[in-house]
Chains A and B, each alone.
Chain A
Amino acid sequence: MIEIKNLKKSFGELEVLKGIDLTVAQGEVISIIGASGSGKSTMLYCINGLEDIQGGQILVDGVDMHARDTDLNKMRQKIGMVFQQYNAFPHLTTMENVALAPRIVLGKSREEARDIAARQLQHVGLGDKLDVYPSKMSGGQQQRLAIARALAMEPSYMLFDEVTSALDPELVGEVLDTMQLLSEEGMTMLVVTHEIGFARDVSDRVAYIHEGRVEEIGPPSQVIAEPQSERTKQFLANVR
């Protein structure tokens, strides 16, 4: 379970998150929607400690992520993350990209790590691309590679940060399909997205974030189909 309590985050003078409260239950898929600059992505970075916080608390399985004595490297193994930029390691093949962290972080043998990598790449539909370098693949393939790389650590949670925003329109589908597959397998997911269709069809709950606060949260049938807040209505009207 991920518990976010009154989270506050500033970049210098600029306060980006002004007190976020959000709880993600095991197996739940939550989509985070909102305008650019509303703090959605920053929230994800705070969850796995890639950004420090100025106030509040984030508990992952009861562990305070920003406490001084928390072993962040250990905790991050539980929290997979996929980014807007594909962030494949350009000097490694697909297989090596995925096998690297299991080998050096989890201490698996070369063979074990290769097995894990092959299995995860198969899982996201890249079973025929094992020895290809990322630069030779499409954006959609690279993004699926990033998903496989995160899954290879066998995380309990997956964070997705606008993973389809940099993709050509015709490549969005294959990545969303992969994410839907994960949700069907019971993965706990926190998905920052501009894909309202995905938020509606796949997520258990949708949160609309406005200027650093959760403006509205609930099942998609409420937040997307019948939003209660004026601001949510306006945002949805703009993106449709």
Chain B
Amino acid sequence: MDNSATQVISFFTAFRLADLWYLGQAAINTIIISVLAISIGSFFGVIFGWILAEFNRYLTVLLNLILDVFRSIPLIIQLILFYNFFPIIGLPLKPFTAGTIVLTIYTSSLVAQVARSGIQATPVPTRRAGRSLGMTYFQDLRYVVFPIGLRAMLPAWTGVALGVLKDSALVSVLGFVELLRASQILVTRTQEPFIILTIVGAFYFMLSYPIARITDRLEKRWQND
């Protein structure tokens, strides 16, 4: 009995190896929510960007207005509003679902502007050259505009992706246990903020670094074009 009592006490007073495992699982949650938000958000962002670049004024003004709302309101406020809105109408959402949806919309509103400028990076005469060869509108888009735009927008998109990865920490306010939330729990329990936050920082770095490296490499490879 004595033995297990000391064990419990020591569990609460110091950082242990098992906590690293706990942080690792929280990191996986961060990865899941970020990957979902970045991939789905980028998909819709490119469609929105295409509408902004190519459709008539009335539609673009309206869409811009909506996207600006999501770009301008602090993410943390969007999260809390969205999460608390659904129980009111009788459809409570899990923190993970609410967080993913808000983060996805936020990402798409940022990527939309990046994609719009990417699409506009192809000069009109170049697109006309494509059309003059008999390409349809969508062939021109697929084989001329997108490849050129992708190269132009990659650095800006990387910035958005890295930003969203870090902003995913804000979902912790809804009670979803990702990296930041897990670290807070551990700090409260162990009273070792220095060690734990250093480890969490290292985790974020390990997640961000590959994104930065991969896009860096793509940029280098495309440079000879």
List the interface of chain A (C-beta within 8 A of B): 45, 48, 50, 73-74, 76-77, 79-81, 83-85, 87, 89-92, 100-101, 104-105, 133, 135, 146, 149-150, 153
Contact = CB atoms under 8 A, between A and B. Distances in A.
Contact of A149 (B133, B144, B148, B222): B133
The 8 residue pairs across chains A and B that have the minimum distance between CB atoms:
A87-B129, A101-B133, A77-B134, A81-B132, A76-B134, A105-B134, A91-B147, A85-B125
Main secondary structure of the interface of B (DSSP, over half): helix
Contact of B133 (A76, A92, A133): A76
A47 to B, nearest CB: 10
A100 B129 CA distance: 12
A105 B139 contact: yes
Interface string B109-127: 0000000000000010110
B135 interface: yes
B128 interface: yes
B131 A76 contact: yes
Contacts of B86: none
A224 to B, nearest CB: 29
B136 interface: yes
24 contacts: A45-B128, A50-B132, A73-B135, A76-B132, A76-B134, A79-B132, A80-B132, A80-B133, A83-B128, A84-B125, A85-B125, A89-B144, A91-B151, A91-B222, A91-B225, A100-B133, A101-B135, A104-B139, A104-B143, A105-B133, A105-B139, A133-B224, A150-B133, A153-B134
A111 B210 CA distance: 37
A40 B61 CA distance: 36
Given A87-B129, A89-B144, 9 more contacts: A45-B128, A87-B125, A87-B126, A100-B133, A101-B133, A133-B225, A149-B129, A150-B133, A153-B134
Interface of B: 123, 125-126, 128-136, 139, 143-144, 147-148, 151, 222, 224-225
A81 B133 CA distance: 8
Given A91-B148, A133-B224, A48 B133 contact: no
Nearest to A51: B128
Contacts of B134: 73-74, 76-77, 101, 105, 153
A149 B225 CA distance: 18
Contacts of B225: 90-92, 133, 135
A73 B138 CA distance: 12
A74 to B, nearest CB: 7
Contacts of B126: 85, 87, 89
Query: Which of B130, B132, B151 has the most A CB atoms < 10 Å from its CB?
Result: B132
Contacts of B130: 89, 101
Given A101-B134, A149-B133, A153-B134, A50 B139 contact: no
A85 B124 CA distance: 11
Contacts of A153: 133-134
A105 B225 CA distance: 23
Contacts of A77: 133-134
B91 to A, nearest CB: 46
A122 B37 CA distance: 49
B132 A73 contact: no
Contacts of A85: 123, 125-126
Given A91-B147, A133-B224, A83 B129 contact: yes
B136 A73 contact: yes
Nearest to B146: A91
B128 A104 contact: no
A65 to B, nearest CB: 13
B143 A100 contact: yes
Nearest to A103: B143
Nearest to B137: A73
B129 A48 contact: no
B159 to A, nearest CB: 22
Contacts of A150: 132-133
B181 to A, nearest CB: 43
B137 to A, nearest CB: 9
Contacts of B128: 45, 50, 83, 87
A91 B223 CA distance: 9
